[in-house]
């Protein structure tokens, strides 16, 4: 009987301590976050393989928020002349929340815009507060390997 009481008492102390040590469960203060990207119109990131540049030309809501978001991204060659990405190229977007190790749960819809190289990404489901990694991939149509990609990191605030 005494052992059971001691075990319960220790468990009630240890369990909350473990939860407090997990930073992914702490409230997110996006104003103080330093690992996210600053979402402003015109924000541009080069692809990891240096083949394309990815420019945010619009996003709604602004800044990115919980639930469904819509972004327009202009993708151009990083070579001289900055040729726009052809609308026929295989293109993907994958939202992922590294702190909780899960995706968004729904597929992003991608539509080419009237301006060459611009694409509208809708139904970007950033359903939880925290840092998200939203990967945009351009695949080589010849062998379906990733030709270039970029990761945008929005911080989604509480509430």
**43-95, pLDDT tens digit by residue?**
999 999 999 999 999 999 999 999 999 999 999 998 878 899 988 888 999 99
Parallel, antiparallel or unpaired: strands 130-131 and 155-156: antiparallel
Cα–Cα nearest to 126, from 145, 153, 150: 153
Q: Which residues pair with 118 in a beta bridge?
A: 74
Answer yes or no: is 45 within a domain.
yes
Q: How many CB atoms lie within 10 A of CB 85?
A: 23
**110-140, pLDDT tens digit by residue?**
999 999 999 999 999 999 999 999 999 998 7
Q: DSSP state, 100?
A: T
Answer yes or no: is 9 within a domain.
no
CATH classification of the domain holding 84: 2.60.40.10
What is the domain count for the chain? 1
Q: Per-residue confidence at 107, pLDDT binned at 50, 70, 90? A: very high
CA distance 95 to 105: 9
The whole model's pTM is what? Answer: 0.80
Answer yes or no: is 91 within a domain.
yes
């Amino acid at each position: 009987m005494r052992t059971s009481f001691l075990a319960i008492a220790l468990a009630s102390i240890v369990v909350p301590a473990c939860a407090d040590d997990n930073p992914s469960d702490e409230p997110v203060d996006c104003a103080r976050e330093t690992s996210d990207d600053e979402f402003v119109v015109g924000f541009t990131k080069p692809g990891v393989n240096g083949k394309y540049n990815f420019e945010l030309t619009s996003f709604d809501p602004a800044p990115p928020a919980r639930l469904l978001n819509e972004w327009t991204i202009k993708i151009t060659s990083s070579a001289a002349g900055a040729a726009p990405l052809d609308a026929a190229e295989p293109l993907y977007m994958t939202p992922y929340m590294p702190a909780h190790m899960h995706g968004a749960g729904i597929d992003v819809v991608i539509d080419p815009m009237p301006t060459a190289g611009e694409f509208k990404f809708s139904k970007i489901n950033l359903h939880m507060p925290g840092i998200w990694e939203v990967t945009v991939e351009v695949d080589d149509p010849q062998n379906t390997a990733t030709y270039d990609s970029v990761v945008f990191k929005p911080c989604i605030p509480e509430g």
